[in-house]
Amino acid sequence: MKYTQLHKSPVFLKIMFVISVAIIFFIGGITFKHITVLKKSSAFVSNSYEVNAELERLISYIKDAETGQRGYILSNDKSFLEPYYNSRVLVRKSYERVSKLTSNSRTQQSNLKKLLYFINKKQNYLSKSLYMIEQGKFEKNTFKNYSIIGKQTMDSIRFKVEDMMKTQQMLLKSRQHDYKSTMNYTPLLIYLTLIVTLILITVAFIKMNNNLVLLKNTINTLSVANEANNLAEIVSRSGSWQLNLETETYTFSDNEYRLLGCEPQSFEASLESFLNFIHPEDLEFVVQKTKNILTENDLAPFTFRIIRKDGEIRYFRALGRMVSIASGDKTLIGTTSDVTEEVYAQNLMEERNRELEINNKELTAFNYIASHDLQEPLRKIETFLSRLISKDYNNLSKSGQQSVSSIQSSANRMRNLIHDLLQFSRTNKGEKVFEETDLNVLFENAKQELNQIIEDKKAIVESDELPILKVIPFQIQQLFINLISNSLKYSKVEIAPIIKINTRIITHNDEEFLPNHNSKYYKITIEDNGIGFDQQYAKKIFILFNRLHNKNEYEGTGIGLAICKKIVENHKGFILANGTHNEGATFIIYLPVS
Amino acid sequence: MNTDFINICLADDDEDDRLFFTDAFDELKMNTKVSTFNDGVELMNYLNNEDSVLPSVLFLDLNMPKKNGVECLLEIKKNEKLNGIAIAIYSTSSSEEHIEETFINGANIYIKKPNDFEELKKILSEVVTINWQYHTSGLNKDNFLMRM
């Protein structure tokens, strides 16, 4: 894994390149050295041949001198002496050339010195014998002597020259050996250099080609992503911008310009050019927000207004985050989105909420005040009526007494209605103070409240252990009162009512309709043996003012169970009713275990 | 004035209620002298008058024009001369807020106006005969509201 990463990294390429150049330089250097050696060797070969040729020439000059002298002595013709005289200069020149050619060989130089001695000796004897003849003092013995010495010297010269040639030959041989071995290595080295260079070029080419393909693919992917991003920006009404922190230059996306109502890239991207669009009232706020971009490397989301090129005011929301891109440059990227619609929608919603709240409050207040104020005249009607009955009832005619009774029962019914309505509006009212309460106490209180009716009807009202729960105490007490009085009210005439309450804990899985955010519920069942009801009305009975019976049969306002439903809902619970006609009703309350 | 009478005052803007009130005492035939006032201002004027005979029980309606019952209650309880008067709130409302507010501000009993004349008589006779010292020492929020 690490290897592949290294293999792909540009550092690897750089190392490869440096190594390659070093190898090529090394091999190139060696090759250059070899070629230089080769050049030297071939120069030496030609030098050796030249030395040999020159030495031959040197001997032939001396011979020419000897021959010329001999010719002169035999024929006494002075023209024979010409080569003899010339030879001195020629021999000197030839000697100098040989000396020059062999200047870098100490053996040859010392040989050459000896050769010079013999040459001088030879020339000396040649000139001596010539002088003797020219002077006419020819002495046979001396001449013979001179000739013998001359011949011996000539032989020495010849030997020396042969010696030198041999030496040169030997030197040449060793040189040729070097040359040969060098010649063996050189093509190999050149070939090697070529191969290595080729391999390196091929590797580099493959590598670069791969990178190029990769780059091309990346560019393709990028351009697709870029296009997708452009489309996404258009759809989502957002734009993006970048701030390169090294160069402190800005880039805006096309849609950023469109959001501002401008043609894409129609002006130079900069903080200043963007700030020009900001609503004057929000300018200070935005400047404050963007001031710390460079130090904090982050731009928390914030909303502000801008004025588009066409003068329209829009709401923008911007946020930014610091990223380090591959080149190591730190770049702050940010998005701006046009949230005008959202802002308007939110404002509208808030306004609606406020209106709703006000309406709700007014309604509650109205309900409360109306029912409260209605009590006042009703109370007077009843009080006057009670005085009328206690004082003048007997003075009234039969029908008058009938009417008074009717007025009384209507007034009574009205009082119940007002009382229940008040109760209902109190259940709706705001203050919902939840307290840890023992429901057994609330149940006992409820029973106490209904004591009179329970006694009158000889009813049995009992409950097993109720839980301790966080509830609004007076509401739960009211719930018990309403449910028990409901059961008492709809009891069978000839049978004493039995009302049983039992409680158990269930999980939300036990009942399909229970939501699963509360895992456990108390299921409180209130069961009676009254007249019951038809199951088809099970939902209807909880609706305000809904009654199943004629008010002459059973008195009731149609509010009691609506209050029960409201109370249970206030406690995030559920209430259901099951009824069987003439057999009894069961009310089931589900209260979440907090 | 005649100290044999129990002096009783009622401040109520409702004419009918004043009538029920006085009629009830008439019929009770107790040794009472009932004075009624049409609003809080009238009542306070009377109470602040040095010549006035202070009542032993003051019945105070809450909802009155000009000066309502709570304002009267506050003024009376602040006044050293008057704060010894037993105050019975006498109102149509039985809302928790009203009961709590008047209890906190030092009223002695809260009477919800009954809708039966006989009941009214019963309540009034009971209130007038309460031993206030005893009642006040054991007063709490539960027995503040008078129940029959």
Band of pLDDT at residue A219, cut at 50, 70 and 90: very high
In a domain, A318, yes or no: yes
The number of domains in chain A is 4
pLDDT at B3: 54
Residues A490, A584 within the same domain: yes
A210 interface with B at CB cutoff 8 Å: no
Structural domain including A203 reads: 2-207
Residues A302, A199 within the same domain: no
Is there a contact between A182 and A36 (Cβ–Cβ < 8 Å)? no
CA distance B129 to B121: 12
Mean pLDDT of chain B: 85
In a domain, A493, yes or no: yes
The CATH number covering residue B42 comes to 3.40.50.2300
In a domain, B1, yes or no: no
Residues A53, A127 within the same domain: yes
Q: For residue A387, list chain B residues with Cβ-Cβ distance below 8 A.
A: 117
Highest mean pLDDT among A5-14, A24-33, B137-146: A24-33
Query: Residue B102: how many CA atoms within 13 Å on its side-chain side?
Result: 31
A512 interface with B at CB cutoff 8 Å: no
In a domain, B134, yes or no: yes
In a domain, A187, yes or no: yes
pLDDT at A111: 84
Facing B16 at nearest CB: one of A372, A378, A380: A380
- Of the three residues A379, A405, A430, the one that is the final residue of a domain is A430
Q: For residue B119, list chain A residues with Cβ-Cβ distance below 8 A.
A: 386
The mean per-residue pLDDT over the stretch A95-102 comes to 85
**Nearest-by-CA chain A residue for B17:** A380
Shortest Cα distance from A305 to chain B (angstroms)?
Answer: 47
**Nearest-by-CA chain A residue for B112:** A379
pLDDT at A518: 67
Tokens of A580: 């069987």
Facing B115 at nearest CB: one of A372, A390, A415: A415
Q: Amino acid identity of A461?
A: V
Q: For residue B120, list chain A residues with Cβ-Cβ distance below 8 A.
A: 383
pLDDT at A499: 93
Shortest Cα distance from B100 to chain A (angstroms)?
Answer: 15
Residues A185, A51 within the same domain: yes
The mean per-residue pLDDT over the stretch B51-56 comes to 86
**Per-residue pLDDT tens over the stretch A376-387:** 888 889 999 998
**Which of A180-194, A300-314, A484-498, B45-59 shows the lowest per-residue confidence on average (mean pLDDT)?**
A180-194
In a domain, A115, yes or no: yes
In a domain, A212, yes or no: no
A410 interface with B at CB cutoff 8 Å: no
**Which of A24-38, A256-270, A555-569 shows the lowest per-residue confidence on average (mean pLDDT)?**
A24-38
Residues 6+ apart with CB under 8 A from A221: none
pLDDT at A217: 92
pLDDT of residue A4 exceeding 70, the answer is no
Q: For residue B115, list chain A residues with Cβ-Cβ distance below 8 A.
A: 378-379, 382-383, 386, 415
A581 interface with B at CB cutoff 8 Å: no
Q: Tell whether the torsion through CA atoms of B27, B30, B34 and B40 is positive or negative.
A: negative
**Per-residue pLDDT tens over the stretch A21-76:** 887 788 788 778 878 877 887 787 788 888 888 888 888 888 888 888 888 878 87
In a domain, B50, yes or no: yes
Residues 6+ apart with CB under 8 A from A273: A267
Facing A379 at nearest CB: one of B92, B95, B118: B92
Band of pLDDT at residue A9, cut at 50, 70 and 90: low
Q: Tell whether the torsion through CA atoms of A12, A13, A19 and A20 is positive or negative.
A: positive
pLDDT at A355: 92
Query: Which of B63, B98, B115, B118 is the mutation pick for testing A, counting most A CBs within 10 A?
Result: B115
In a domain, A213, yes or no: no
Band of pLDDT at residue A429, cut at 50, 70 and 90: low
The mean per-residue pLDDT over the stretch A355-367 comes to 82
Facing B92 at nearest CB: one of A375, A386, A387: A375
Residues A319, A359 within the same domain: no
pLDDT at A7: 54
pLDDT at A3: 46
Helices (H) and strands (E) in chain B, counts: 7, 5
Residues A440, A556 within the same domain: yes
pLDDT at A484: 93
- Of the three residues A430, A464, A497, the one that is the final residue of a domain is A430
Band of pLDDT at residue A145, cut at 50, 70 and 90: confident
**Nearest-by-CA chain B residue for A372:** B93
Q: For residue A386, list chain B residues with Cβ-Cβ distance below 8 A.
A: 115-119
Torsion, Cα A58 A59 A64 A69, to 10 degrees, reads 110
Shortest Cα distance from A294 to chain B (angstroms)?
Answer: 59
Kindly provide the residue ranges of all beta strands, DSSP E only, lying in B77-137, ordered along the sequence. 86-91, 109-112
pLDDT at A560: 87
The CATH number covering residue A542 comes to 3.30.565.10
The mean per-residue pLDDT over the stretch A322-346 comes to 83
**Which of the two residues, A527 and A329, has the higher pLDDT score?**
A527
Structural domain including B95 reads: 6-144
pLDDT at A326: 65
Facing B120 at nearest CB: one of A375, A383, A415: A383
Residues A514, A576 within the same domain: yes
pLDDT of residue A136 exceeding 80, the answer is no
pLDDT at A564: 92
Residues A121, A266 within the same domain: no
Beta-carbon contacts below 8 Å between A and B: 32
**Per-residue pLDDT tens over the stretch B33-53:** 899 998 888 888 898 888 888
pLDDT at A1: 39
A372 interface with B at CB cutoff 8 Å: yes
Write down the residue that tokens 């040999």 correspond to: A52
The mean per-residue pLDDT over the stretch A248-252 comes to 85
The mean per-residue pLDDT over the stretch A495-522 comes to 84
The CATH number covering residue A34 comes to 1.20.120.1730
Residues A387, A332 within the same domain: no
In a domain, A273, yes or no: yes
Residues A200, A109 within the same domain: yes
Residues A523, A584 within the same domain: yes
**Nearest-by-CA chain B residue for A379:** B115
pLDDT of residue A428 exceeding 80, the answer is no
- Please report the DSSP string for A70-118 in residue order: HHHHHH--GGGHHHHHHHHHHHHHHHHHHHHHTTT-HHHHHHHHHHHHH
Shortest Cα distance from A390 to chain B (angstroms)?
Answer: 9
In a domain, A220, yes or no: no
Say yes or no for a CB contact (<8 Å) between B116 and A386.
Answer: yes
Say yes or no for a CB contact (<8 Å) between A383 and B117.
Answer: yes
Highest mean pLDDT among A111-115, A212-216, A414-418: A212-216
The number of domains in chain B is 1
Shortest Cα distance from B143 to chain A (angstroms)?
Answer: 16
**Which of the two residues, A291 and A484, has the higher pLDDT score?**
A484
In a domain, B102, yes or no: yes
pLDDT of residue A305 exceeding 70, the answer is yes
pLDDT of residue A501 exceeding 90, the answer is yes
Residues A101, A126 within the same domain: yes
Say yes or no for a CB contact (<8 Å) between A386 and B118.
Answer: yes
Residues 6+ apart with CB under 8 A from A192: A27
Query: Which of A371, A374, A383 is the mutation pick for testing B, counting most B CBs within 10 A?
Result: A383
Facing B92 at nearest CB: one of A376, A386, A390: A376
Say yes or no for a CB contact (<8 Å) between A383 and B116.
Answer: yes
pLDDT of residue A527 exceeding 60, the answer is yes
- Percentage of chain A surpassing pLDDT 70? 95
pLDDT of residue B1 exceeding 50, the answer is no
- Percentage of chain B surpassing pLDDT 90? 13
Say yes or no for a CB contact (<8 Å) between B115 and A386.
Answer: yes
Mean pLDDT of chain A: 84
